[in-house]
Amino acid sequence: MKKHHTKSLGDLGILKAQLDLFEKGFIVAIPQTEHAPFDLMIHKGGVSRTVQVKARSVDAKGNLNVNFSSTYSDSKKMHTVRVDKKQIDIYCVYCPDTDKCYYFDPKKFNKSVCLRVEMPKNNQRQNVNFADDYCQVP
């Protein structure tokens, strides 16, 4: 797959998430502001939830790494802000290398999560979050 500019990759991630969630039977809504703490809202079976979408490529070790923080810069310095997990029900990680979306509840993890796309060289399975185990919305 062709490399994408960071912003374009984020846009692609949101579009892929919308399509995948629609195919899973959800009604997908987009906030009317970019200042919302989430990217999408989904609704199914009388239940609505918020979704934060991230796009991540597989790293050299075969992982998708997601930190629960965001960074921005102003004229003075770079700032890192932790995500308020109370405002986000589900994280969706789109991976262009697999062309799949992975879903999880961020409250089940601490400051970050590592999803394993490739099998570890030592074949370890215990305490490994295999990406393919996160293809369904929790």
Q: Within 13 Å of residue 20, how many CA atoms lie on the same side as its CB?
A: 21
C-alpha–C-alpha distance, residues 43 and 29, integer Å: 8
Give the SS3 label for residue 105.
Answer: coil
**Digit-coded pLDDT (tens) for 53-85:** 999 999 999 999 999 998 888 899 999 999 999
78 close to 53: Cβ distance less than 8 angstroms: no
Per-residue model confidence (pLDDT) at position 1:
47
Structure tokens at 35: 């200042």
Structure tokens at 10: 């984020």
Domain ranges of the chain: 6-134
C-alpha–C-alpha distance, residues 37 and 57, integer Å: 23
Considering only CA atoms, give the Rg of the chain: 15
Low-confidence ranges of the chain (pLDDT < 70): 1-6
Q: pTM for the whole thing? A: 0.89
Q: What is the CATH number of domain 6-134?
A: 3.40.1350.10
